Structure 1
């Protein structure tokens, strides 16, 4: 892997090869601030597909997965949509020895919590994500969610967080509710519909986008869906890493 931007004093020979997890953690460290910071991590093909055959894995790479794991290991909580939980077979985040000292120094638990966004709570609460996590899973839902489903989530051991009215979860409120629980370093891995809601609400602070050197054609989703924003929001480029044609970019909101 090599750094393309920002340009540093390192020569190409110094900067190439497999980066250590410590080096990746430094490169993707969260900014120091009091409030929440929401970053997204997504992958896209050259022609804009966020997935192939319904999953992101076919357009990913080994290095992409190393960065994926690093971003998870730095987060207090991973925010994910219910549809992605169902399609990707989400499991609880695990503790990783390589990041244990870093998390302890930051005052974090052994692993990030998974926070599932679901207005209907149409989820299988017998899955390991809910009944066997190292850190209790949170379920973000609206005040009008079915009472029976709320009870099922709580019985499974999940913490139910009301973050909206009716059956709708308000993205800005979801971020605030998590921050109020001490979960300020937030990472969302999708899906596209939920990412689109965060974008439309203006609460996304950072985008970590892997550009995959593949073409898929077809009608796969983009990385963000839903309604368009009234005025496109501008982000600034922070860094670019490259390996085997994959570009690992990092942008932050201006």
Structure 2
């Protein structure tokens, strides 16, 4: 893997270290800001084809590569909670996050449990609570919904062992309230893996702090969604390029909100 930006003093891309990085080195490269705000730091991790497609035939995995999956695992290993939309849970077959020995010491030093919690955002709670995500997580799965969510579905979520958090005063979920609701329960290092609709809602609400975007050297065409699919922002929000890594034509970029 090569670091294309920022380069060490006196280096050029051709002279940078082109070996496989260790998980520890990747964890250092993607560490959350030391002074991330107590109200929660929301990072997104997404992959896109060259033509902007966020998936191929409904799934993001065909756009990925081994290094992308290593970074995916590192970002999970650093997070308090992985925030994901209900549709993505259904489509991608989400399972509980697992504990990894490589991150055990780092997580213990940060006061984190062995694995991040998975936090599912769902207004109607149309979820299969018999799935391992709810019945066999190492850390209880969180469900974020509105105050007026169907009472029977809230009861079903709790009966399955999920912790239900309120993030919205009506029947729907307020994207801006999701970050605060999680932070109030001690989950401040947040990672969202989409899908595009949820990420678009976070962007429109102005609560997305960071975007880690893997750009695959692939053309997909078709009518696949972009990485965001939400309300149009009245004023496009500016992000600052933080770093670029490259391997086998894949670019692994990191942007922070200005």
Same fold (TM over 0.5): yes
Provide, for residues 149-193 of structure 1, a one-character-per-residue CA deviation record: whole Å limited to 9, x for no partner.
000000000000011022211112110010011100000000000
1:231 paired residue number: 235
2:30 paired residue number: 28
2:201 paired residue number: 197
User: Does residue 37 of structure 2 align to residue 37 of structure 1?
Assistant: no
Superposed, which structure 2 residues align to 1:135-154 within 5 Å?
Answer: 135-154=139-158
Provide, for residues 121-160 of structure 1, a one-character-per-residue CA deviation record: whole Å limited to 9, x for no partner.
0000000000110000000000111000000000000000
Provide, for residues 86-113 of structure 1, a one-character-per-residue CA deviation record: whole Å limited to 9, x for no partner.
0000000000000000000111000000
Moved more, 170-179 or 19-28: 170-179
User: Does residue 170 of structure 2 align to residue 188 of structure 1?
Assistant: no
Task: Report the secondary structure of 1:80's partner residue.
Answer: strand
Provide, for residues 197-224 of structure 1, a one-character-per-residue CA deviation record: whole Å limited to 9, x for no partner.
0000000000000000000110001000
Distance 1:83 1:196 in 2: 14
RMSD: 1.0
Moved more, 28-37 or 203-212: 28-37
1:94 paired residue number: 98
Superposed, which structure 2 residues align to 1:1-254 within 5 Å?
Answer: 1-9=1-9, 12=14, 15-33=17-35, 34-35=37-38, 36-254=40-258
Distance 2:175 2:230 in 1: 13
Contact 2:3/2:16 (CA < 8 Å) preserved in 1?
no
Contact 2:202/2:208 (CA < 8 Å) preserved in 1?
yes
Kindly report structure 1 stretches of 4+ aligned residues shifted beyond 3 Å: 9-14
TM-score, with structure 1 as normaliser:
0.98
Distance 2:136 2:220 in 1: 37
TM-score, with structure 2 as normaliser:
0.97
Q: How much does 1:32 deviate? A: 1.6
Structure 1: unaligned runs, 5 residues or longer: none
Count of matched residue positions in the alignment of Structure 1 and Structure 2: 254
